[in-house]
């Protein structure tokens, strides 16, 4: 992602290579999943191997019996939940997880920028990925 900030005729370009990837904000995650064409479902339980069940805050259907979910951890982060045996058969899941992580990180970075908009009064900010 490249961020360009222009103020008073001077431009600064920043190549953002390190963005947070720990998922904490379920609303932001749902927004990102929708942006990738998925229909997030709030709450529920995912079934795993040998009838193991895991409560989730958010989940998506990947077709067939494959589902991905996220459960809230003690530290407030969201942990990925899924049946690894089913998911390992899909070549698209690793790519999807990368897309989710990148979109979430970009969303959080732009939200942080928006939260500090007063500090950038008179600036023009453009971002490209």
In a domain, 61, yes or no: yes
User: Rounded to two decimals, what is the model's pTM?
Assistant: 0.74
In a domain, 129, yes or no: no
Could you tell me how many helices (H) and strands (E) the chain has, helices first?
Answer: 3, 9
In a domain, 12, yes or no: no
50-75 residue pLDDT tens: 778 889 999 999 887 788 999 999 99
**Crossing angle, helix 92-115 and helix 26-35, to 10 degrees?**
120
Confidence (pLDDT) at 127:
58
Number of domains into which the chain is organized: 1
In a domain, 123, yes or no: no
Helical H runs in 3-91? 26-35, 84-87
Distance CA 40, CA 17 (A): 28
Q: Which domain holds residue 36?
A: 24-112
| pLDDT grade for 7, boundaries at 50, 70 and 90 | low
Confidence (pLDDT) at 124:
59
In a domain, 93, yes or no: yes
In a domain, 19, yes or no: no
At residue 127's C-alpha, the angle toward residues 96 and 105, to 5°, is 40
The mean of the pLDDT values for the chain is: 78
In a domain, 50, yes or no: yes
């Amino acid at each position: 992602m490249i961020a360009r900030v222009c103020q008073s005729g001077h431009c600064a370009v920043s190549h953002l290579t390190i963005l947070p990837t720990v998922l904490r904000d379920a609303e932001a995650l749902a927004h990102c999943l929708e942006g990738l064409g998925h229909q997030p479902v709030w709450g529920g339980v995912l079934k795993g191997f040998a009838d193991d069940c895991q409560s989730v805050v958010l989940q998506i259907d990947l077709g067939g019996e494959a589902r991905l979910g996220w459960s809230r951890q003690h530290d407030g982060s969201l942990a990925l939940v899924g049946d690894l045996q089913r998911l390992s058969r899909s070549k698209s899941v690793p790519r999807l997880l990368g897309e989710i992580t990148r979109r979430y990180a970009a969303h959080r970075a732009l939200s942080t920028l928006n939260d500090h908009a007063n500090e950038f009064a008179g600036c023009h900010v453009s971002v490209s990925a």
